[in-house]
Amino acid sequence: MKIAFIGDIVGSPGRDMLKIYLRRLREEEGIDFVIANYENASHGFGLTAKNCGELFTYGVDVMTGGNHSWDKKDILPLFETHEVLRPHNYPEEVAGTGCRVYDVAGERLAVLNLMGHYGMPYADNVFRCARKSVKCLREDGVENIFIDFHATATSEKRAMMMLLEGEASAIIGTHTHISSDDFQIVQGTAYLSDIGLTGCRDNVIGMDKKVPLTQFLTGMKGHFDVPKKCKKILQIAIMEISCGSCRSAYKLKIFDDNRVIKTDAWVED
């Protein structure tokens, strides 16, 4: 199977990039299944029901979340009616789930959404949750396991890879909105610390620069806003997975001026 992942869609600029490019990418790259992180998709914070339906029409199959999953209250029924996940290590009493299994290209694929600890809301131990969830999936015969690890600290993300290398098919980080340059395949596990945002590329983490600059210069906080006009980017990781292992992987950076930069994941011996 060939799966793709898009992280941190930020506001209407990010949604616009999916509208323009995703259907074409699915066809040109032979993608069977698309996972996308929604947690900044609506005005930069959370997901509305309207934007949820919109993103599915663009070619997304399932969406993952993070610390902003709860920012729009109309998300609660979406957990039951749509393929919308939230971090799995929230307590069991919280609405929704962070793990579902899908039939893709004749194989089963689990999508597991996790959230780190540093700078994040309170949640259960993510490493114990990840280890237990992956173990249960494999015992149930699900070999292909994709993880969106929504976390701030690269040390947490790297540690997750060391914990699950050879057990998960792919571990891709989200949350910082800044793409990292460590895409690799280790013991059949694809790993990338952060895929980076899809949205505005000429501001601060996809947001208008005015408030962040004021905060850094004066210490005075304000509300971050998504710019109405900006230069845009779509960042997508594409992975070929079978029998639990990632065989090959690459990342595309697609700019709104139609430039495309491709980066292949390197394979560790």
Q: Per-residue pLDDT tens for 153-183? A: 999 999 999 999 999 999 999 999 999 999 9
For residue 68, give both structure tokens.
């902003």
- Cα torsion angle, 116, 120, 123, 125, sign: positive
Q: What is the pLDDT of residue 269?
A: 73
Q: What is the pLDDT of residue 139?
A: 98
- Return the amino acid letter for 221: K
Q: What is the pLDDT of residue 215?
A: 95
pLDDT, averaged across the chain: 97
Q: Per-residue pLDDT tens for 125-135? A: 999 999 999 99
Q: What is the pLDDT of residue 137?
A: 98
SS3 assignment, position 225: coil
Cα(201)–Cα(13) distance, integer angstroms? 10
The C-alpha R_g of the chain, in whole angstroms, comes to 17
pTM (whole model) above 0.75? yes
Measured from the Cβ of residue 69, the count of other Cβ atoms closer than 10 Å reads 29
Q: Per-residue pLDDT tens for 177-209? A: 999 999 999 999 999 999 999 999 999 999 999
Q: Per-residue pLDDT tens for 13-69? A: 999 999 999 999 999 999 999 999 999 999 999 999 999 999 999 999 999 999 999
- Cα torsion angle, 224, 227, 232, 234, sign: positive
* Consecutive H or E run containing 138: helix 126-139
Measured from the Cβ of residue 219, the count of other Cβ atoms closer than 10 Å reads 7
Q: Which ranges constitute the DSSP H helices of the chain?
A: 11-29, 49-57, 78-81, 126-139, 154-164, 210-218
The answer to whether 200 and 231 have CB atoms below 8 angstroms apart is yes
Q: What is the pLDDT of residue 141?
A: 97
pLDDT at 6 over 80: yes
- Bridge partners of 260? 254
- Bridge partners of 249? 239
For 2-200+227-267, which CATH class? alpha beta
All structural domains of the chain with their residue ranges: 2-200+227-267
For residue 103, give Cα distances in angstroms to 81, 83, 108, 243: 18, 13, 5, 13
Q: Which residues are catalytic?
A: 68
Q: What is the pLDDT of residue 228?
A: 86
Cα(84)–Cα(99) distance, integer angstroms? 10
